[in-house]
Each structure stands twice: as structure tokens, then as C-alpha cells.
Structure 1
Amino acid sequence: MPKQSKRKLKTYQTSLGFYDQAVAAPSMKAALEAWGAKSNLFHQGIARETDDPDIVAATMASPGVVLRRPVGTDGAFTENAELPTDLTGGEIRRKPKHKLKRTTKPGKRPAKIAAKPSRKLDDQAARKAAAAFEKEEQRRQAERRKEEAARAKARARRDKAVAAAQAALDKARREHEARAERLEAERAALDERTEAEQGRWDKQRMKLEQAMRRARE
């Protein structure tokens, strides 16, 4: 397998089912593969890159590993998140978003809101995270190959069983048809013997009846 260049990791976030999910990956494509997504969640507006320092720190500590938290919450992302407990009518009750207060006078442009400071990774940490991602990706690919091999083995076993059952059915059908042909031949021969016997009896009966009439004269 050719050695891949270590690319800088980014943190991507999405919501799938009952969970928010986040992963540190070198690209959107790699994130989609880690999530097991069948479509491009980024184009659909369901996934995005995030620079939230807490989420970035959590994912960079386990590059390539999909972290989760109950959807609609703002708790920490972990590998083994519990299901949401605050459900209403089968839907998750999300926390209301607070509106930003207007702090500037009319006619003036609002001041930019300072973004949360992102925890920057130094080059050594970035290389370490990229190497960890590649290791996790290799583990995930090995697991996929193992699952595909198991499915192929199960499919081959199923195909073999189906072929054996079909062969047994074909053999039984041929034996049945052979027996039916023999019985049909025996029945035809029996009909012929029955007809011959009936002809013989008719001739004998006629001769005996004639003899009986002569004896009465």
C-alpha cells in the first residue's frame, strides 16, 4: 500500500439520527467515509467544518474516531454517548437559541462578535494527529475488509447451499419422471394385456355359447 502524505486534520460535525457526530479528518470526503454516509452531507447542509475549541480538542485527541453526543445538546463529544433522555412525542427537544442583544445605536454598524479562540496545534502535534488518523483509518479499512470477507464467505456458503438444494431437487425430479415413465409404460402394457384377454374371452365365450345351443337342440 503506497505511503500517504500526512495532511493537516480538520474537525467536521454533523447530526445523524439521535446524535451529533464529530471527527477529525484531513478532508470532507474522509469525514463522510468515517461517518459511513451514503450521500454528501456537506452539500445537503447537514455537515460542516467546526472550529469550536472544545470539539476540536476532543476530536484531535482521537483522530479518525467518530465522537458523539445526544443531538441538540451542548455536552462533550465522546466515543460512547448515551441516547438522549429529553424526548417529546418521539422528537428531541432542542435547547432554545438565545437572540443576541443589540448593543449599538441605530445607524451604526454592529461590532463584530469575537469568535471563540481556537486551540491551535503546533506542527509536531499536527503530525502526531495526522499519523493517528491514518492509523485509525487503516484500522477502519481493515475492519471493512474483514466484514466484506465475512459477507463474501456467507454469500459463498449460501450459494453453495442453494446449489446443493437445486441439485437435489433436479435429481429427485429426474427420478420421479423416470418412475412415471415406467409406470406409464407398465399401464400401457397392462391395458394391452387387458384388451387381449378381453378378446380371448369373447372368442371363447362365443364358442362355448354355440356349443351349449347345439347341445339343447
Structure 2
Amino acid sequence: MAKTPNRKLKTYQTSLGFFDQAIAAPSMKAALAAWGASSNLFHQGVAKETDDPDIVAATMEKPGVVLRRPVGSDGPFSESAELPTDLAEDDAGPKRRPKKRPAKTTKTKPAAKKTAKAPSRKSDDQAARKAAAAFEKEERRREAERKKEEAARARERARRDKAVASAQAALDKARREHEARAEAIDAERAALDERAEAEQRSWDKQRMKLEEAVRRARA
């Protein structure tokens, strides 16, 4: 079995349209490809690597998947983010200030004993390999989708080309048949013209003889 490349994933973030987008990817190039960006958003200053723990945790759970949230918000990232329903109202009118709540007095509790152990380097490596494997799987899925779409477009082009070729062949055949009939008609017309001229010459000779006979009879 082929080994999955152990590439360390990083979390990248950008804003496109109405959404903030984040993804766990091995490089900026991979992030741009997943976002479908036609230019280098990092050079333009609209994309960056982030170390926000909440964003990093969300993207590492689904490496290679583009997560979104409404632009300008601080909510969690998800695959199917929706714009807030009060977006238009916020833009049209003044924002209301939240009411201040009275501060609660809290009693100081003794610090809890630390029982959790720091994750070992081995578990970190395992998590990194798992995230990288998940990213590779998502990349393969996207590549399969692209190939599927390209194959569908190729089939559609082949079907269209076949239809065009068939229609063109029918047109060429009809044109050849028409030209053959037109040539036959022209040949028949030429033969009729020749017969008509021959008939006219024969009649002219006969008419001249008969007219001469009439003149002699009158004399």
C-alpha cells in the first residue's frame, strides 16, 4: 500500500464575497486551488495563515474542505454557512448597543489540580498524519469530481460534433442530388433547344419552297 505523504497542514483564511473562508492545506497554493481563486490572494493581502485555535481546530477536523462563515462575524466556520437574516437591517439603520448587565460577584474557587497530561509528540505526529491523509482524500475527491465533469463535457462535445457532422452530411448529399437533377434538366433543355432550331430551319426551307410555288401559280 502506498504511504500517504506526511505534509504538515496549516490553516489559511480569506474573505470572498459575503463569506470568510478557511481551510487546512499543506501550502498557500493548495489553499488558493481549493478556494478557486484566479489570482494570488496572499500577495494581494486578502488571505493569510491563521493560528486562531478555534479556526485551526475546525479546519483540522475537515482538512481540505473549505469552511465558511458570514463575512465580518466571529461565529464558527462550517461547510454550509448562511448569511444572517438581519444583514440588510444592520446596513440600513444604526446598530443598537447591547444593554449592560450588572456584574456578577463570583467567589474565588481554589485552583483545580491539573490532571490532564500534555499530549505527547507521538500523538501530535499521529494527528498530523491523520489530518494529512484526510486532506489527500479530499483532494482526490475533488480531482475525481473535476475528471467527471470534464468527461461529461467531452461526451457532450462528441454528441454535438456527431450531430453537426450528420446534419452536414445530409446537406451535402441533398446538394449533390440537386446539382445532378439541375444538370439533367439543363441537358434536356439544350436538347430541346437544338430540336427547336432544327425544326425552325426545316420549316424555313419548306416555307420558302411553298411560297415560291404560290407565286408561280399566281403568275
| TM-score, shorter chain, exceeding 0.5 | yes
Which residue does 1:56 correspond to in 2?
A: 56
Amino acid across the alignment from 1:36: G
Q: Which runs of 5+ in 2 are unaligned?
A: 96-118
Listed one character per residue, the Cα deviations across residues 51-94 of structure 1 (whole Å, up to 9, x for unaligned) are 22222121111111111223333332211122465249xxx89x
Structure 1 pair 173–83 and aligned structure 2 pair: CA distance change class (3 A): farther
Structure 1 pair 198–12 and aligned structure 2 pair: CA distance change class (3 A): same
2:178 pairs with one of 169, 176, 179: 176
Q: Equivalent residues in 2 for 1:161-200 (5 A)? A: 161-200=163-202
How far apart, CA to CA, are the structure 2 residues paired with 1:78 and 1:205? 108
Deviation at 1:122? 2.7
CA contact (8 A) 1:19 1:70 kept: yes
Which one has the largest radius of gyration? 2
CA contact (8 A) 1:18 1:84 kept: no
Deviation at 1:40? 2.1
Deviation at 1:201? 2.0
Which residue does 1:81 correspond to in 2?
A: 81
TM-score (norm 1): 0.76
How far apart, CA to CA, are the structure 1 residues paired with 2:78 and 2:130? 20
Amino acid across the alignment from 1:164: S
Listed one character per residue, the Cα deviations across residues 122-158 of structure 1 (whole Å, up to 9, x for unaligned) are 3322221111111111111111111111111111222
CA contact (8 A) 1:64 1:132 kept: yes
Judging by fraction of residues, say which structure has more helix.
2
Query: What is the SS of the residue equivalent to 2:63?
Result: coil
Which residue does 2:70 correspond to in 1?
A: 70
Listed one character per residue, the Cα deviations across residues 81-123 of structure 1 (whole Å, up to 9, x for unaligned) are 22465249xxx89xx9xxxxxxxxxxxxxxxxxxxxxxx9933
Which residue does 2:32 correspond to in 1?
A: 32
Amino acid across the alignment from 1:150: A
CA contact (8 A) 1:55 1:77 kept: yes
Which residue does 1:131 correspond to in 2?
A: 133
Runs of 4+ in 1 over 3 A off after TM superposition: 1-4
How far apart, CA to CA, are the structure 2 residues paired with 1:205 and 1:67? 105
Amino acid across the alignment from 1:203: K
Amino acid across the alignment from 1:14: T
How far apart, CA to CA, are the structure 2 residues paired with 1:66 and 1:211? 113
Which residue does 1:202 correspond to in 2?
A: 204
Q: Which runs of 5+ in 1 are unaligned?
A: 97-119
Query: What is the SS of the residue equivalent to 2:39?
Result: coil
Deviation at 1:10? 0.8
Which residue does 2:43 correspond to in 1?
A: 43
Which residue does 1:113 correspond to in 2?
A: none
How far apart, CA to CA, are the structure 2 residues paired with 1:149 and 1:42? 32
How far apart, CA to CA, are the structure 1 residues paired with 2:146 and 2:214? 99
How far apart, CA to CA, are the structure 1 residues paired with 2:15 and 2:181? 66
How far apart, CA to CA, are the structure 2 residues paired with 1:68 and 1:79? 6
Which residue does 2:145 correspond to in 1?
A: 143
Deviation at 1:160? 1.6
How far apart, CA to CA, are the structure 1 residues paired with 2:137 and 2:61? 13
Deviation at 1:211? 2.4
Listed one character per residue, the Cα deviations across residues 152-172 of structure 1 (whole Å, up to 9, x for unaligned) are 111122222222222222222
| Aligned alpha-carbon RMSD (Å) | 2.6
Amino acid across the alignment from 1:139: R
Of 8-17 and 203-212, the range deviating more from structure 2: 203-212
